[in-house]
């Protein structure tokens, strides 16, 4: 199985699951550099299991997963939300800097320096967070917190940004702002984005590929086909 330069991850005939039980099977998927893959499907259908398989934190039960660069891809991960105890007074800037801790550990625990702080400021600016970088994270709105978590993900200088239900808990206006933000981030270079979501609104303007995860299967195709009314009805009602 070959992995061309434009291919970051290739999955062939793979099954992923736990304790010998497959959650998703016969997975065939290619993630290209600079692409945007939306992973959709009903709750409990296996979306997070597939994401773990792409990350390499869950090994395939069958089949093969190959990552470019000999498996040394850099990932930026954005969770649904970050539960930081509000009694702990961390600012938006300090949460963003957490994305550089891995590099600090590789330098034998040396403290973060000026370069990391400048990069954190750039990442916050990239997500529109400059105005609230010194505010306490616990005092930010849901949409602002999500911007900070995206900035933290960008701090890893990732080949691929992975977002797990980033619009969860946001109001409609904040969801639309998030979609627009991800579009701007993607247009700024060759960053690849993979996003799990159950919000379908406006995804067709952002994703070029969609993977529907349902009934133990993963169906992949172009966004305009996979987001059609017919396909959505098939996934949820047939």
* Structure-token pair, residue 139: 């005092």
Mark whether 67 and 164 lie in a shared domain.
Answer: yes
The pLDDT assigned to 124 comes to: 97
Q: Is residue 152 exposed (0-12), middle (13-18) or buried (19+ Cβ within 10 Å)? A: buried
pLDDT exceeds cutoff 70 at 12: yes
Name the residue among 104, 97, 156, 159 with its Cα closest to residue 124: 97
16: Cα separation from own chain's centroid: 19
Domain containing 47 equals: 1-73+159-238
**Residue 78: inside a domain:** no
The pLDDT assigned to 1 comes to: 44
Please give the sequence-ordered ranges of beta strands (E in DSSP) within the chain, or none if there are none: 7-18, 21-32, 36-40, 62-67, 75-78, 160-164, 192-196, 209-214, 217-222
| pTM, 2 dp | 0.88
Q: Which of 111, 131, 158 is the last residue of a domain?
A: 158
Mark whether 12 and 49 lie in a shared domain.
Answer: yes
pLDDT exceeds cutoff 60 at 106: no
Q: pLDDT digit string (tens) for 206-234? A: 899 999 999 899 999 999 999 999 998 88
Mark whether 11 and 39 lie in a shared domain.
Answer: yes
């Amino acid at each position: 199985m070959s992995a061309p330069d434009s291919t970051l991850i290739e999955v062939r005939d793979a099954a992923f699951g736990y304790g010998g039980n497959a959650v998703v099977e016969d997975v065939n998927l290619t993630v290209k550099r600079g692409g945007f893959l939306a992973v959709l499907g009903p709750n409990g259908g296996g979306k997070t299991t597939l994401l773990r398989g792409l990350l390499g934190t869950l090994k395939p039960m069958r089949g093969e997963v190959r990552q470019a660069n000999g498996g040394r891809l850099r990932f930026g991960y954005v969770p649904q939300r970050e539960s930081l105890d509000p009694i702990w007074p961390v600012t938006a800037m300090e949460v963003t800097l957490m994305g550089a801790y891995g590099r600090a550990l590789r330098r034998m625990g040396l403290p973060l320096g000026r370069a990391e702080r400048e990069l954190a400021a750039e990442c916050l600016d990239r997500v529109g967070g400059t105005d609230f970088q010194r505010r306490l994270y616990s005092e930010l709105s849901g949409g602002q917190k999500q911007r900070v978590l995206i900035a933290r993900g960008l701090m890893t200088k990732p080949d691929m940004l992975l977002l797990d239900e980033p619009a969860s808990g946001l109001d409609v206006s904040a969801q639309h702002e998030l979609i627009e933000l991800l579009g701007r981030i993607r247009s700024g270079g060759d960053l690849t984005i993979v996003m799990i979501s159950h919000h379908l609104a406006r995804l067709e303007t952002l994703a070029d590929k969609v993977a529907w995860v349902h009934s133990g299967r993963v169906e992949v195709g172009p966004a305009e086909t996979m987001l059609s009314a017919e396909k959505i009805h098939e996934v949820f009602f047939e």
